[in-house]
A and B are shown apart, each in its own frame.
Chain A
Amino acid sequence: MDTKARVTRSLQDPEETRQPPRERGGRLLRRTFLIAMLVVCGGLLTSGAVELAFRYQESVTEIGTLQTEMANGVAFKIQQFVQDLEKTMRASTQTPELITAGLTASYEFYLVKLLGLAPAITTITALDQNGREHLKLSRVQLFRPQDLQDRSADDVFVHARQGVSYFSPVYFVKNSEPYMQIAMPIERFAGNIIGVLLAEVNLKYVWDVISQIKVGKTGYAYVVSREGDLIAHPDINLVLQRQNLKSLPQVQAALSKSPTPSTALPNLAGESVFSSRASIPELGWTVFVERMADEAYAPLYHSLLRTAVLLLVGLGAAVVASFVISRRVVRPVEQLRQGVARIGAGALDYRIEVQTGDELEALAAAFNQMTAQLQESYADLEQKVDLRTQELQSKNEELEMALHQVQEMQNQIIMQEKMVALGGLVAGVAHEINTPVGIGVTAASLLGEQTASFRNLYQDGRMKRSDLETYLETASQSSTMLLSNLNRAAELIQSFKQVAVDQSTEERRCFPVKAYLDEILLSLRPQLKRTSHEIAVHVDEGLQLDTYPGAFAQMVTNLVMNSLTHAFAPGETGQITLDLSTTPKPVTFTYSDNGCGIPAEHLEKIFEPFFTTKRGQGGSGLGLHIIYNLVTQKLGGTMHCESAEGEGTRFVMTFPRHSP
């Protein structure tokens, strides 16, 4: 019954055999999904990235352009401021008195007026055509004629004398306020220069222009001279502190006439700004318009953010779409797989349902057909299996019977062997006993004869001394012979008894091993006395055994006697060692002698009954057999022998401390 049932069960049990394929189904979905996603998302990302890159570029350019326009505007305003000054000054160079009378003291009136018109001018000087100060008027200082100097060597005069307005480089008065000198020719009429009008302009007034400039929310403008000195800034302190901005990258770019970098740059306060510039060529000044990088780039960031968000949304949609599509493809495949798995697991009545109207549906139909056929063949198979099982069972029964018979025969053979052995044993014993008994009978009969003849002699009165002596001799000899042979017979019978049945008469008790061993050896002294062998005993002092002391004694006695008999030649001195320990197994009793050893061909037979190599010399062949039986049956242990010719003999016996 079992085999059939087992086979069926395994076929119908899915869990046991079908774990891995479930994972493989998920993989297809994942793979399809991933590929679809990669393709779509890859496309989106690429286009998005390209778009972003370009937009960034364009935006930055736009910002730059816008701000540069603002800078141009500011530059224009400042230019206008200076040009207004210039214009006002020019107006003062075109007075009727100058045209008629030239440069005279009365011109002072116009200088006073000019000071009133142009608050930016601190000092106004009229130089004559040779460069000497003719008139000098200041808001702050008093200039008398004796204070007037020769300015003919000054740049301001030299340039203006040539007929064009001149704007000096920026310098700082009292190391605090920025100044510039504007010089222009005083022309009586075209080409006739009669002097130069020189104004010292306090550029603090440019600050008024700059501070009005508002650029976006965080923007500001400032002006830098040709040397990089700050001329005007919304924070006037920076100007009065004499800040030089040569270290700023945007200023460096301006001074070296290279384009301003369109990245975020640091300003004086260390903030990150977007900088644009415009120059005022006649003055050599550069106007900077800067906005905090955050504000300048804000529209850019917004635009980028928008694009990024759109991109993300697109990606999200792509992911979802890819997923949905993949599932639509993969689900029928998964259904197929699961169906096949179930069929494969044994559910042959299961039909796969896939209705996608495509090749997958056809595949499912084909599968179902196959399943139906499988079902049929399976039914067939089941029948055949049943048949086979029956056949096997009957065969099995036959075999069992045969086995039984064989066992019976085996028992019989054993019995027979036992019988044979016993017969052999009896024969052996009989043979053994026969010898001494025969000798005894012979000796007794001799004694009888001799006694009878001696009696006759005595009765006849013919007894002589020599006859008495002869008779005594004979009697003595005969009795000795009788005694020894009877003893021998008794010994043999004792041995035989032991080998035979009754061993259970002996009691079991607990005894200290060492002491007991000493006793045993003591009892063997008569035999040992005749030899010079050494016996060494190694026993743990406290070792106790709960076993049959008699058996134990027998063991030891037989082993010793064997050594005396077989191992050593007469007169030889040998060593016998007895070792009892609880390692490796409790108890291990190792008996060894360094005698002539046992040759290999005998080694396997030593434990057989009646096997001896000294049959004629007192060996009964039973000693080891007895011991073996004792150890294995009575003590419940094991015994084996290690020996080789010429290398001594060792018997290792193991048995539990408590015999069964």
Chain B
Amino acid sequence: MRLNAVRLLILFVLSLPVGSLPVKAQTPIPRIGILNPQAPTTTNTTGETLGQATVDAFRQGLRDLGYVEGKNIRIEYRWAEGHPERLADLAAELVRLPVNIIVTVSMKGVRAARTATATIPIVSGGAGDLVKGGLIDSLSHPGGNITGLTDINPDLNGKQLEMLKTVLPGISRVAFLNDAAADSKTTTLHLQAAQTAAQKLGLQLQPVTVKTAKAFSEAFAIMTQQKAEALVVMLSVFTMRHRKQIVALAAQSHIPAMYQGREFTEVGGLMSYGTDRLDQWRRAATYVDQILKGAKPADLPVQQPRKLELVLNLKAAKALGLAFPPTILLQADQIIE
């Protein structure tokens, strides 16, 4: 009887599925395609780069979620280098690779990605009004393959003008700088919002459109000509790319400017009120993570910016001979010396 028990035991041990010990299945490493309208580093003498910073923020976000580039995730970078017409081809390239997810910013970026694919998930790291832009059904249920974060930039035009007026109570003419390369729908929304707000505030809005980088000085010349007392610069890939130039020209022309992103203020702009782009890029990583884990972009709600920041540059103010009123100082999230 003992012999039989031993035999049974041996049989049992042998029958254990040794080969089926949990071995991680060899699934391919997911590939993320970043479609960045900017350039990573600039060769532009007056421009400043942002591309790399935002991408780095995104990668940090991925790292925080446990992704290691090369080990469990791969990233493909496509830079449009400020040329929006290249976005379509770059998007198509990414689709051909193929990539599991496309991450992009700006309305044009999102649109280009959407044209290239209706199935590969697209994560927006910050684009204008996706609903009004016709890219998603609603914030809570985007439907389709686009999700991510939205800016509320067009809405902020009112506040931006208001703040500008608070700093310069006596002004009546405000220029509005926008570029022709930006998404036309977005530009229209911005202009509309700015116009409405200007009217409310009793200001005259003077839109100035810039087509090429070379045209900036011309634009400022026009502004000076039109006796603009202040300026609001619309945030776009183009303006972002050439922010240093714009800031310099504004300073030269002695025109106090309200910008829509801290990136301008950081290079010398007077003030900015807008979303934290780096934070948006970081949060885009959470969308990538969820989609890789099986969530469908149609069901992932689009998030609005977490925080709006008012950044003031004291140096620029001093240069313009301005002093920020207490109300503004009170509201400021950051004051650059």
Task: List chain A positions with a Cβ less than 8 A from chain B.
Answer: 108-109, 112-113, 115-116, 119, 138-142, 144, 146-147, 174-177, 204, 236-237, 240-242
Contact = CB atoms under 8 A, between A and B. Distances in A.
Given A116-B331, A139-B159, A241 B201 contact: no
B107 interface: no
A176 B302 contact: yes
B32 to A, nearest CB: 20
Given A115-B331, A237-B300, A176 B140 contact: yes
Contacts of B159: 138-142
A175 B138 contact: yes
Contacts of A146: 200
A142 B140 contact: no
A141 B139 contact: no
B318 interface: no
A125 to B, nearest CB: 16
A79 B47 CA distance: 50
A242 B306 CA distance: 18
Interface string B167-196: 000000000000000000000000000000
A284 B330 CA distance: 35
Contact of B162 (A113, A116, A142): A142
A237 B302 CA distance: 8
B140 A242 contact: yes
Interface in B215-269: none
Given A142-B197, A144-B201, A176 B301 contact: yes
B304 A177 contact: yes
Contact of B139 (A116, A138, A174): A174
Given A140-B156, A140-B308, A176-B139, A112 B200 contact: no
A142 B330 contact: no
A108 B139 contact: no
Nearest to B160: A142
Interface residues of B, number: 30
Contact of A240 (B158, B197, B303): B303
Given A140-B152, A141-B159, A142-B162, 4 more contacts: A175-B140, A236-B303, A240-B301, A241-B141
Interface in B143-171: 152, 155-156, 158-159, 161-162
A397 B39 CA distance: 140
B307 interface: yes
27 contacts: A108-B327, A109-B326, A109-B330, A112-B330, A119-B307, A140-B152, A140-B156, A140-B159, A141-B159, A142-B158, A142-B197, A146-B200, A147-B200, A174-B131, A175-B138, A175-B140, A176-B140, A177-B304, A204-B306, A236-B303, A237-B295, A237-B299, A237-B300, A240-B139, A240-B140, A242-B140, A242-B141
Nearest to A144: B200
Contacts of B308: 139-140
Nearest to B156: A140
A108 B327 CA distance: 9
B209 interface: no
B52 interface: no
Contacts of A115: 331
Interface in B294-335: 295, 299-304, 306-308, 326-327, 330-331
Nearest to A139: B308
A529 to B, nearest CB: 99
Contacts of A237: 290, 295, 299-301
A109 B327 contact: yes
A123 to B, nearest CB: 11
B193 to A, nearest CB: 9
B286 to A, nearest CB: 9
> Closest 8 A-B residue pairs measured CB to CB?
A142-B158, A240-B301, A176-B139, A144-B200, A242-B140, A142-B197, A241-B301, A142-B162
Contacts of A112: 327, 330-331
A241 B161 contact: no
A146 B197 CA distance: 12
Nearest to A238: B301
B264 to A, nearest CB: 20
Contacts of A140: 152, 155-156, 159, 308
Contacts of A141: 155, 158-159
Nearest to B328: A112
Contacts of B200: 142, 144, 146-147
B272 to A, nearest CB: 15
A109, A146, A237 pick with most chain B CB within 10 angstroms: A237
A142 B199 CA distance: 11
A115 B140 CA distance: 26
A242 B301 CA distance: 9
Contacts of A147: 200
Contacts of A236: 303
A177 B139 CA distance: 9
A179 to B, nearest CB: 12
A116 B330 contact: yes
A241 B298 CA distance: 11
Nearest to A235: B290
Contact of B330 (A113, A175, A241): A113
A116 to B, nearest CB: 6
Contact of A142 (B161, B295, B303, B307): B161
Contacts of B161: 142
A241 B301 CA distance: 6
A57 B139 CA distance: 46
A204 B295 CA distance: 21
A265 B197 CA distance: 52
Nearest to A110: B330
A108 B326 CA distance: 12
A176 B304 contact: yes
Nearest to A240: B301
Contacts of B307: 119
A232 to B, nearest CB: 14
Contacts of A240: 139-140, 301-303
Interface string B194-213: 00010011000000000000
B56 to A, nearest CB: 24
Interface string B50-78: 00000000000000000000000000000
A588 to B, nearest CB: 70
Contacts of B140: 175-176, 240-242
Nearest to B326: A109
A175 B139 contact: yes
Contacts of B201: 142, 144
Contacts of A142: 158-159, 161-162, 197, 200-201
Nearest to A239: B301
A177 B152 CA distance: 14
Nearest to A145: B200
B153 to A, nearest CB: 11
A140 B129 CA distance: 14
Contacts of A174: 131, 139, 304
A113 to B, nearest CB: 6
